[in-house]
A = this chain, B = another copy of it.
Amino acid sequence: MSEAHNLAIGVDIGGTSIKFAVVDLEKGKVLKETSCTTPNVSASDIASLVVKNINVLIHQYPDLSRIGLGVPGAMNAERTVVQYPPNFTLWKEEPLAEMIAAKMPIVDLVRMDNDAKCAVAAEMHFGSAKNEKFFLLATLGTGVGGALVSNGEIYRGAFGGAGEFGHVIVDLNGVSSPSGVRGCLEAYIGQRFLSERTLDALSKSKQTSTLKKFIAGKILEPKDITEAAQEGDTFAIEVLADAGRYLGFAMATVANLLDIRLFLVAGGVAQAGDLLLEPARAALRENVLEQMRSTVEIRPAKLGTKAGVIGAALLTRD
């Protein structure tokens, strides 16, 4: 099949689920997509799980020979090792791409990058950042990640790890995330923490809320909060407004420090849309330096939750 040259497998390894897709690199389209739940296991066990799922796709598309991986942690400068991803507590410095390549001799190429860097590459090629030269993409999922684009290129810094937006500190007296960073954004609006904080507030609140059914132990997902808010639940609206405020303050730090004025948001939590983004915009505008107050902007990313797999597949181009 000659069109196989334009196809690659993109894998987006998140803290909650792992997504696998066959991607048309020319059109930026997902032809086939599967997913599985992410177990909290070693990098080597994740590698085995990824190989198992990829083999199913290769069975259907036998000419596929290139794999790109998006992983939720900082990379070394060579992008061969993922370093201490905060939501994988058993991982240290892990050559995940090499582990997978070793298990798949029929595959030509396995490349790896940080998940937010993959998403931003997809948005720059096919999505909402086509002509943008300076911006931050924030990925709001189980973890909170980010990618900085400066002068049209992903900014990686001296050691390859730049862009960790979720570890911007918003409250030095606040709570810690699994990374140990006190009061960082992820500790407030990372999916798990947002759910935990919401359940905690619910159990203390005297407000009525359709979310109270979750106190009994059912898992509360960000989409449950969003759905309740969309139906007018005041408590849920306040939860999202509060999360948006945290997000806006972290963005204000980035704007003040880097004179970046455009922010894109992607990931599951971002599905809340303006319920999250309007309060974020207010906090951002109020807390940037005067000269940028009227020009700072927050936009939802276009490719939604597919940005990760599309960007991962893009890693395989020469």
Binding site for B on A (CB under 8 A): 74, 83-84, 86, 93, 133-134, 146, 148, 150, 155-165, 167-173, 179-184, 245-246, 249-250, 252-254, 256-261, 283, 286-292
Contact = CB atoms under 8 A, between A and B. Distances in A.
Contacts of A163: 257
A238 to B, nearest CB: 16
B289 A161 contact: yes
Contacts of A167: 253, 256-257, 289
Given A146-B257, A167-B253, A181-B288, 12 more contacts: A74-B259, A74-B289, A84-B290, A157-B258, A160-B259, A161-B291, A161-B292, A169-B256, A170-B171, A181-B289, A182-B287, A184-B287
Contacts of A169: 170, 249-250, 252-253, 256, 287
A260 B257 CA distance: 13
Contacts of A183: 249
Contact of A93 (B86, B184, B291): B291
Q: Number of copies of this chain in the oligomer?
A: 2
B286 A182 contact: yes
Given A173-B171, A259-B74, A259-B162, A287 B180 contact: yes
A286 B179 CA distance: 10
A135 to B, nearest CB: 9
A3 B254 CA distance: 44
A157 B260 contact: yes
A257 B165 CA distance: 6
Contacts of A168: 253, 256-257
What 10 pairs across the A-B complex have the smallest Cβ distances? A157-B259, A167-B256, A134-B158, A161-B259, A84-B290, A83-B291, A172-B249, A162-B259, A169-B253, A164-B256
Given A84-B289, A253-B168, A260 B158 contact: yes
